[in-house]
Structure 1
Amino acid sequence: MTVTKERSSRTYPLSAPEADPRFSDVLIEVMADLLHHHGYPYIEDGPDREALTAALHGFLYRTTVHSPA
């Protein structure tokens, strides 16, 4: 017997606060380290790090990209 799990509504993106101290350079560094740990090339500072920041911000919040705190 196969059980099909019904998808719940999405949690993300969140409404963006004025500032969110959780969205920081440390968070971006941890994400870069996590990707590297899983076999992806390390993401250095520069265009790739900026793209990672934009992608994560776009996933988390309903707004335009802001630099990490």
Structure 2
Amino acid sequence: MLEKLSFSLSGHRTSVALEPEFWAALSAIAEAEGVLLSALVTRIDAERAEGRPLASALRVFALSRGGRGG
């Protein structure tokens, strides 16, 4: 089941639905980097390739980091 969280990105609210395991991995990465989850999501949003959905970018980022913050 997907878990939906809301963020303010580029001046507008958006919701992202991911599996709880991805949210847990992203939260662990954010904690390891000393930033809020919202700040990490904002950074990933700004760096994602044009046309790539945010949910996909978040999943790829989490997988690339192994959920351990680098």
Higher helix share: 2
**TM over 0.5, yes or no?**
no
Higher strand share: 2
RCO higher in structure (CA 8 A, sep ≥6): 1
Q: TM-score range by the shorter chain?
A: 0.3 to 0.5
User: TM-score by structure 2 length?
Assistant: 0.36
Which is higher, the Rg of structure 1 or of structure 2?
1
